[in-house]
Amino acid sequence: MYEAIENSTEVKDSIYRKAKRKDLITSIMPFAGLIFISLFMIIVTKGTVIKQGNLLVLLNQVFTISLVGVGAAFVYSHGGFDFSVGASNGLAQYICVLIIVQKGLPIWLGILAAVLIGVTDSVLVGGLSALIRVNPFVTSLCMRSVCIGLLSMAVNGSGGQINVSYQQFAMFDSWVLKLFVLVVVILCGYYLFEKTSLGKSGKAIGGNLLTSIQSGIKVNQTMILSYALLGFCVGLAAIFQVARLGIITTQSGSGLEFDLMVAIILGGFPMAGGAGAKLLSVIIGACTITILANGLIIWGLDVNFVNAIKGLLFVIIIAISYDRSNVKQVNITT
């Protein structure tokens, strides 16, 4: 009997050690990936990737993905999904320009409108998913089509593109303001994600939906609030993108959703959500995907080939890291 107890203890210790080793590897890999890719790109571009002129480009790209990524962390932590963020971001850019430039209304009104566009889109994605009980991938594709259609009609009706005067948005191209906004968003996001019931409930839903419901967690409410935070970050990022790019086209915001997904995966953020979801993972992933894409272009690769590499990388990491034991449908009305 004592021998059986001893063997059982040894098995438990072995399982514990393996789990601890796996957690350590999982936490180290994103940092190791960032360091490896950074060093590799510095070598193959002969240092061009870290020159002053290019650093500003990197910082702008990291700013956008990190800002939106903070909101996305809440959605992905419960196993949610939103493929419409790029399209809603482009539409938010247009509405912001329409109000401030074409209508001559106060800047604060344009900012509010851009944020409302982002929040409305994401809340509809999460709300409709919960209401009609379908995967958020479906509702996000529908909202993506709606936003792209509205943006295309508006821009084509204005001659195919809308140029923006830099002077009207110069204040939003200040790195003092950008760093302030990013730090505030990250700190607020960290507090909500790690210290409040919203973040804890989201991770609980991602870990086990049925247990979360039985524990009294308001699943639909948590989901919709998470999507609202994502939409807020999408709309906020749109304002700074207008200042940096100075032009609105039918392609505005395009690709943001995919860069965001790749960043989340590269940062070690679990696609199925759960307790392993960490806000820092999104920031690490944003830095990694930005340096990778920028470095490959400087190295001389075609933009389309760079996108293909990002897609291949996304599939490979998903195949390796996705937790197939936790596949579930998150749309259960409570």
Give per-residue pLDDT as tens, 111-168: 999 999 999 999 999 999 888 888 898 999 999 999 999 999 999 887 778 888 777 7
Alpha helices in 45-84 (DSSP H): 52-77
Q: Where does residue 297 fall: left (phi above 0), alpha (psi -120 to 50 degrees), or beta otherwise?
A: alpha
Asked whether the predicted pLDDT for residue 253 surpasses 80, the reply is yes
**85 vs 56, residue with greater confidence:** 85
Burial of 142 (C-beta count, 10 Å sphere; 0-12/13-18/19+): middle
Percent of the chain surpassing pLDDT 90: 46
Q: Average of pLDDT values for 23-36?
A: 77
- Helix, strand or coil, per DSSP, at residue 106: coil
Q: What is the pLDDT of residue 3?
A: 53
Which of the four pLDDT bands, split at 50, 70 and 90, describes residue 177? very high
Q: Average of pLDDT values for 202-223?
A: 89
Q: What is the pLDDT of residue 67?
A: 96
Q: What is the pLDDT of residue 193?
A: 95
User: Is 329 in contact with 71 (CB distance < 8 Å)?
Assistant: no
User: Is 127 in contact with 219 (CB distance < 8 Å)?
Assistant: no
